[in-house]
Structure 1
Amino acid sequence: MKIKMLVSMAGADFALDAGQETERFGDAEALRLVNAGYAVPAAGPVIERAVKSPAREKRKAN
């Protein structure tokens, strides 16, 4: 499970900064960090889609 850290954390062989995304932990440990408020699930990639804007309304002059 990919998570985004809300706080900095370090261990014997790792260091994570607040805002960093990681898949370092197993699903159970990642869920525990989320439930404890140390991390949030990482959002998937943002996909931008082109949207055609509506045509402007044309009015006849009186």
Structure 2
Amino acid sequence: MNRNKIACNCKNISYGKIEDAIFNGATTYEEVQEQLKFGTGCGGCREFIRYLIDDILEERGMKQK
């Protein structure tokens, strides 16, 4: 995964920032969103980021709560 790739253009949120939020204890879309505030501009990234979070958690042997 390219940690520098942007997942949310409006808030300039990279894949790496999402991964870091999960590494720091966030285990749900809502927890990651609360920390990073993505999806509050145009909202176009929400569904994609939901899948991205699922993929990152799955790689770590976890599931969203």
- TM-score by length of structure 2 reads 0.26
- Higher relative helix content: 2
- Structure with more relative contact order (C-alpha pairs < 8 Å, separation 6 or more): 1
Largest Rg, 1 or 2: 1
- Higher relative strand content: 1
